[in-house]
Amino acid sequence: MPRGDKSSYTPKQRRKARHIEQSYESRGLDAPEAEARAWATVNKQSGGGERSGSGRATSARRKTQARKSSARRAVATKRGHSPNRGRLTARGARRTST
């Protein structure tokens, strides 16, 4: 599929892009820039072509990365390397005694 090919987008995504593009053009943007921004907005909102449906919120790769990251943070905390160590928080703010 060549770069810029819109065939993998759903009809709903195409309608949304067309509507966003018209909105940008009504605000005074030129047509090519309006189209580029419209498709960028659709990609930002839906993650690209044909990604609707249940269970598509996060990819398998992202889930794996999240699991690894979580495991690393758990090990670090267990070893006493808390990411919040030494930071002031709303609940446990340090007070200097005078």
Query: To 10 degrees, what angle do helices 11-26 and 31-46 make?
Result: 140
DSSP, res 84: T
Which pLDDT does position 27 carry in this prediction?
Answer: 94
pTM of the model: 0.49
Which pLDDT does position 88 carry in this prediction?
Answer: 58
Dihedral (Cα; 33, 36, 38, 43), 10-degree rounding = -160
Instruction: Round to whole Å and give the CA distance between 65 and 57.
Output: 14
Instruction: Round to whole Å and give the CA distance between 51 and 56.
Output: 6
In the chain the first and final C-alpha atoms are separated, in Å, by: 69
Which pLDDT does position 94 carry in this prediction?
Answer: 55
Which pLDDT does position 6 carry in this prediction?
Answer: 83
Indicate if the pLDDT at residue 96 is higher than 60. no
Domain positions in the chain: 11-78
Which pLDDT does position 26 carry in this prediction?
Answer: 95
